[in-house]
Amino acid sequence: MLAFLVQRISQALLVMFVISVIAFAIQDGLGDPLQEMVGMSVSMEERQVIREELGLNDPFLVQYLRFAGRALQGDLGNSYFYSKPALQVIGEHLPATLELVIGASLIIVFLSVPIGVYAAIRPGAWLSRFFMGVSTVGISIPVFLTAIVLIQLFSIGVTINWFPPETGWGQWLNESLSTHGGMPSYGRGDDLVHLFGTWESGFFTRQGLAHLVLPCVSLASIMLPLFIRLIRAEMMEVLQSDYIRYARAKGLNPGRINFLHALKNTMLPVITVGGVQIGIMVAYTILTETVFQWPGVGLMFLEAITRSDIPLIVAYLMVVGLIFVITNTLVDLIYGLVNPTVKLTGKKT
Amino acid sequence: MTTATVSRWDRFRASFFWYSFKRDKLAIASFLVLLAMVLAAVLAPLLAPADPYDLAQIDILNSELPPAGFAGADPAFPLGTDAQGRDLLSTILYGTRVSLMIGFGAVVLQAALGILFGLLAGYLGGKVDAILMRIADVQLSFSTLMVAIIVGAVFKASFGNLMFGEIAIYMLIFIIGVAEWPQIARTVRASVLAEKKKEYVDAAKVMGFGTPRIMFRHILPNTLSPIFVIATVQIANAIISEAALSFLGLGMPETQPSLGSLIKSGFDYIQSGSWWITLIPGLVLVVLVLVINLLGDWLRDVMNPRLYKG
Amino acid sequence: MPLLQVKGLDVRFALRGGDLKALRGISFSLDKGERLGLVGESGAGKSVAAFSILNLIARPGYIAGGQILFDGQDLAAMNERELRQIRGNRIAMIFQDPMMTLNPVLTIGTQMTEAIRAHRKISRREARAIALDRLTKVQIPSPARRLEQYPHELSGGMRQRVIIAIALLLDPEIIIADEPTTALDVTIQAEIMALLLNLCEQENVALMLITHDLGVVSQVTQRMLVMYSGRIIEQGPTREIINDAQHPYTQGLINALPQMGEPGARLFQIPGSMPSLNNVPSGCPFHPRCSFATDQCKRTMPEYVRSGNVDVACYEVANLIEQEKRMQEAGS
């Protein structure tokens, strides 16, 4: 167990190191601290002097170590645009993104497991086929498009007038196929509850929750088909195995067989894949936040790119890198705890 | 006695590949739709009723006209117009063209990189393998889309808006190609590791063939079949990635838009009721990606080694 | 009154091109406490026969006809719920590969106590006591510790002992063992087989042993039946069949066993191989490989004839019996 932990953590540190080097390289190559500090009237010679004083002409390695040292103390420079420490800007925007991710994850977990299991147990049922069909289409729709369609349907509303209103049933069909919209599609609303630090939560008020709905559904929509397919495929394979047939031969009831014997084995590879999806999730939050103007780190990152706010870009990369590394290590850990064949040796038997 | 020569066409028609294709109606339908879209895109200059980027032809008075069948539509613009008065059918045709070019280009690049690195990692092993696969792992764990966004952001910041716009199409092919090579490399590496153990490799070594020759002329052809399946799906992924990048403003500029940029610029007008400017290009994008995915699914079933017998 | 009686069991595989017949109307019986061997090559249908008793054949297999009479009830006609009460309870099964049979993510203890509590309303502690008792019976060292362990922590032989212990948990009347030692090390095979034999004798449990190993059959079973291409071609007391096999196929099987004879002597092989399910010959399925085959053999499947205590399905054997009878009558 200890060896397992040590191995994973040292891997994590290595990856963090690589990310920091890349981040620093970007900052070194693109950023110009002088731009922030001095105006246009400063001459070239004076600029050179200032550069010397700031140590900007030192070798790469020296500058990197300085950068790394500061980073470990939490100093990632000041954002050009906000004129505040970059880390603080990120701290202000991070809770919004976290709530988005939490909401989407809840939707994914509570929908994909029942649907995936059902589709595996009854693959021929029309409901299963329907879900699988929708999943295939779902994978082909980019997340930002789903978001736009949801906005059109539930925020703006769609009025159908295909059927002539004179006929009684025509009017009814018009009504039932139309949507009235009204769901908020911009930002998080004003009704947020302060939790701690910079965390303003939208989960505790009606307006906050209303604002969370469309963005979370959009974010979930792209990962849901993936998990449904994955769970279904894994479960179907597990159901073919000898130990399931043996469980039946022991006379166990089907509920126990499906939800203990089969599901536990199914979830193992799903945990692994789920861990990998976190990376994709972060990319998708950038897209979703852009569509809904959701004030999270994704939108912040995009605006930083447009404004060439290099310190903020670099800080974002470092923080996101750290989040990845932590999450991946946690996922590995959870997998090691859940899968008994991994416990003792620290390697897969 | 004369022997009839069997042409390649005859062999193709007799093969399992064609037989399976004919039987799968979904595959046929997908292929036809894809063919239609590709042809339409390639022939865009001929098919488009107007050149949407010729400023002389656009009249701002035509802006935001709805598609045919809706109140206020103009028959000259079957799919409506955008905020500047450009014909949507034309912009979509050109946009599809750009999306397809980037999709194919990116996949060619990532296949080339992936095959090269996969061969090197698999065949040479040791440190080369360790380094390459470590890089691949990091790229994959960040997710290729994120890598593309980061690389795109860095390029845009270093090249500046204007220059980035001019070479955007090559930039995008490069960005997506570089972001996505790990997937193919991993597959190739796995195949190479399996092939390395086979006897024909020993035979080639004994005959004194050099490493590059063994890698490329002997091992490579045997690793290609799973790549075709992956490549197909990757085209769909590349199109989506490009659309995402363009939507974020890191992709094709307004002057040479892809489907993604069309969706982006149309989005601003959705609140005012002009849904077609963003949703019709969106629909085209979805259909395009969907048929490629369906064909990829079919291809995967066909190439399943248990069923496919050369 | 036999404990288990299989009459005309017909099992098929439903495939897109049409059904394949895996078992073509086989009939046999098992008495209380009796040990019966099912012998045959791979693909003869012996595993299918074993699994069909409890209707556990993998899809697309299904029981197309026949009866499986157990204690007055027809198992072939029962629904899942009724069968569940019998599985693991009155009829237990032992599969081939213990590593694949035990669920890798559940402890041995869980997998044992759940089997008990699925059929008896007793507490977990009581179930655990029963599990410990059975583990001791199969001679596993430190049984209490095993309950907390996972399958991958045990050796192959120990895992199979656990499987045997599970089979005995509810004091079944029949144990169906499908090649129980094939997946084990050669050195352990004899041990496990001896254990199984002893336990069945002690507890007076009927045993249906499926195997391709004639040596094991001759040591363990009292009666045996030989399967070929979905049919039983010879069945009767094991001793009689091993010593004096009647059917040409059975004779071939016995002759194929390596004898401790002269070094360098060639091993006997029955020419050809058993036909696949979709390519079954007409009449007697063995006729393409049989040196005694006649036109009649190619046309219709022979009926059973009795030779001693053994039932054989072979025209040649039938003819020989006829000849003997006539000779005896002529002689008297």
Query: Residue B286 is nearest to which of A141, A284, A310, comparing CB atoms?
Result: A141
Q: Indicate if the pLDDT at residue C115 is higher than 90.
A: yes
Q: What is the token pair recorded at B129?
A: 């393998």
In angstroms, the CA C49 to CA B288 distance is 51
CA geometry: angle B126, B131, B137, nearest 5 deg? 120
Query: Residue A142 is nearest to which of B243, B250, B297, comparing CB atoms?
Result: B243
Cα distances from A44 to residues A55, B208, C225, in angstroms, run: 16, 62, 102
Peptide bond into C141 cis (omega under 30): no
Tell me the average pLDDT across A315-333. 84
More confident residue, A111 or A200: A111
In angstroms, the CA C247 to CA B72 distance is 90
Dump strand ranges (E) for A197-323: 199-201
Pick the closest to residue C193 from C236, C160, C166, C239 (CA basis).
Answer: C160
Tell me the average pLDDT across B9-32. 74
Pick the closest to residue B222 from B118, B132, B298, B135 (CA basis).
Answer: B118
Contact A320, A176 (CB under 8 A): no
Q: What is the pLDDT of residues A74-90, one digit of tens each?
A: 777 777 788 888 888 88
Tell me the average pLDDT across A322-343. 81
Q: Indicate if the pLDDT at residue C239 is higher than 80.
A: yes
Q: Cβ–Cβ contacts within 10 Å for residue B301, how many?
A: 14
Q: Where are the alpha helices (DSSP H) in A140-205?
A: 143-150, 168-177
Q: What is the ipTM of this complex?
A: 0.88
Q: What is the token pair recorded at B18?
A: 């064609």
Pick the closest to residue A82 from A224, A235, A295 (CA basis).
Answer: A295
* Residue positions counted in chain C: 332
CB-based contact A290 B149, cutoff 8 Å = no
Whole-number pLDDT of residue A346: 43
More confident residue, A33 or B250: B250
Cα distances from C322 to residues A66, B273, C124, C232, C235, in angstroms, run: 105, 97, 63, 22, 20
Q: What is the pLDDT of residues C249-288, one digit of tens each?
A: 888 888 877 766 667 777 777 777 888 877 788 888 888 8
Contacts of C103 (CB under 8 A, 6+ apart): A243, A247, A261, A264, A265, C111, C151
> What is the pLDDT confidence band of residue C1, given thresholds at 50, 70 and 90?
confident
| Average pLDDT of chain A, as a whole number | 81
Q: What is the token pair recorded at A80?
A: 């050009």
Whole-number pLDDT of residue C177: 93
In angstroms, the CA A225 to CA A237 distance is 18
**Residue C332 carries which side chain, given as an amino acid letter?**
S
Whole-number pLDDT of residue C149: 92
3-state secondary structure (DSSP) of residue B4: coil
Q: Where are the alpha helices (DSSP H) in chain B?
A: 8-14, 16-23, 25-42, 44-47, 88-124, 126-142, 144-166, 168-196, 199-206, 211-213, 220-247, 259-267, 276-303
Q: What is the token pair recorded at C210?
A: 């499926």
Contact C242, C221 (CB under 8 A): no
> Residue B184, exposed/middle/buried by CB under 10 A (0-12, 13-18, 19+)?
buried
Please give the interface size between A and C, counted as residue pairs whose CB atoms are below 8 Å apart: 76
Chain C residues whose beta carbon lies within 8 Å of the beta carbon of residue A266: none
Query: Residue B248 is nearest to which of A137, A156, A286, comparing CB atoms?
Result: A286
Q: What is the pLDDT of residues A161-209, one digit of tens each?
A: 666 666 666 666 666 666 666 777 777 777 777 777 777 777 777 777 8
Most C-contacting residue of A236, A238, A243 (CB-CB within 10 A), to test interface: A243
More confident residue, B40 or B285: B285
Which residue is listed with tokens 């890089």? B135
Contact C138, C158 (CB under 8 A): no
C293: left (phi over 0), alpha (psi -120 to 50) or beta: beta
Query: Chain A closest CA to B139's CA: distance in Å?
Result: 10
Tell me the average pLDDT across C304-316. 86
Q: What is the token pair recorded at A107?
A: 């939707």
Record the pTM.
Answer: 0.81
In angstroms, the CA A262 to CA C104 distance is 11
Q: Indicate if the pLDDT at residue A345 is higher than 60.
A: no
In angstroms, the CA C315 to CA C332 distance is 26
Cross-strand pairs, C211: C39
Cα distances from A180 to residues A22, A161, A168, B275, in angstroms, run: 48, 13, 20, 15
Whole-number pLDDT of residue A243: 92
CB-based contact A340 C152, cutoff 8 Å = yes
Query: Chain B closest CA to A144's CA: distance in Å?
Result: 8
In angstroms, the CA A226 to CA A279 distance is 14
In angstroms, the CA B105 to CA A155 distance is 38
Q: Where are the alpha helices (DSSP H) in chain C?
A: 46-53, 80-86, 98-101, 108-117, 124-137, 143-148, 156-168, 186-203, 214-220, 238-243, 248-256, 295-299, 315-331
Q: What is the token pair recorded at A280?
A: 């994709």
Contact B194, B217 (CB under 8 A): no
In angstroms, the CA A212 to CA A209 distance is 5
CB-based contact A341 C152, cutoff 8 Å = yes
CA geometry: angle A301, A303, A306, nearest 5 deg? 115
Residue A107 parent element (H or E): helix A86-121
Q: How far is CA B74 from the centre of its chain?
A: 34
CB-based contact A30 B249, cutoff 8 Å = no
List chains touching A (3+ CB pairs under 8 A). Answer: B, C
Chain A residues whose beta carbon lies within 8 Å of the beta carbon of residue B145: 280, 283-284
* Residue positions counted in chain A: 349
Contact A281, A104 (CB under 8 A): yes
Query: Residue C114 is nearest to which of A241, A252, A339, comparing CB atoms?
Result: A252
> What is the pLDDT confidence band of residue C94, given thresholds at 50, 70 and 90?
very high
Q: What is the token pair recorded at A55?
A: 């140590």
Task: Tell me if chain A has a CB within 8 Å of the CB of B154.
Answer: yes
Using CB atoms and an 8 Å cut-off, which of residues 256-295 of chain A contact chain B? Answer: 276-277, 279-280, 282-284, 286-287, 290-291
For A285, nearest residue in chain B (alpha carbons):
B146
**Residue C159 carries which side chain, given as an amino acid letter?**
R
From A182-196, B175-189, C48-62, C119-133, the region with the lowest mean pLDDT: A182-196
Whole-number pLDDT of residue A31: 64
Whole-number pLDDT of residue A348: 44
Q: Indicate if the pLDDT at residue C37 is higher than 90.
A: yes
Which top CATH class is C4-228? alpha beta
From A250-264, B52-66, B74-88, B259-273, the region with the lowest mean pLDDT: B52-66
Residue A68 parent element (H or E): helix A60-72
Cross-strand pairs, C142: none
Cross-strand pairs, C292: none
> What is the pLDDT confidence band of residue C323, given thresholds at 50, 70 and 90?
confident
Q: Indicate if the pLDDT at residue C103 is higher than 70.
A: yes
Q: Taking the domains of chain C in order of start, what are their residue ranges?
A: 4-228, 249-331
Pick the closest to residue A89 from A333, A274, A296, A342 (CA basis).
Answer: A296
Side-chain-side CA neighbours of B280 within 13 Å: the count stands at 21
Q: What is the token pair recorded at C255?
A: 């002759």
Query: Residue A243 is nearest to which of C103, C118, C119, comparing CB atoms?
Result: C103
Q: What is the token pair recorded at C304?
A: 């059973």
Q: Indicate if the pLDDT at residue B97 is higher than 50.
A: yes
Contact A321, A215 (CB under 8 A): no
B304: left (phi over 0), alpha (psi -120 to 50) or beta: beta
Chain B residues whose beta carbon lies within 8 Å of the beta carbon of residue A142: 240, 243-244, 247, 285, 289
Query: Chain A closest CA to B2's CA: distance in Å?
Result: 52
Contact A246, A134 (CB under 8 A): no
Strand C231-237 to C310-313 pairing: antiparallel
Whether chains C and B touch (3+ CB pairs under 8 A) is answered by: no
Using CB atoms and an 8 Å cut-off, which of residues 29-58 of chain A contact chain B? Answer: 29-30
Q: How far is CA B141 from the centre of its chain?
A: 22
Cross-strand pairs, A201: A193
Q: What is the pLDDT of residues A264-305, one digit of tens each?
A: 999 888 888 887 787 788 888 999 999 888 889 999 998 888
Whole-number pLDDT of residue B36: 87
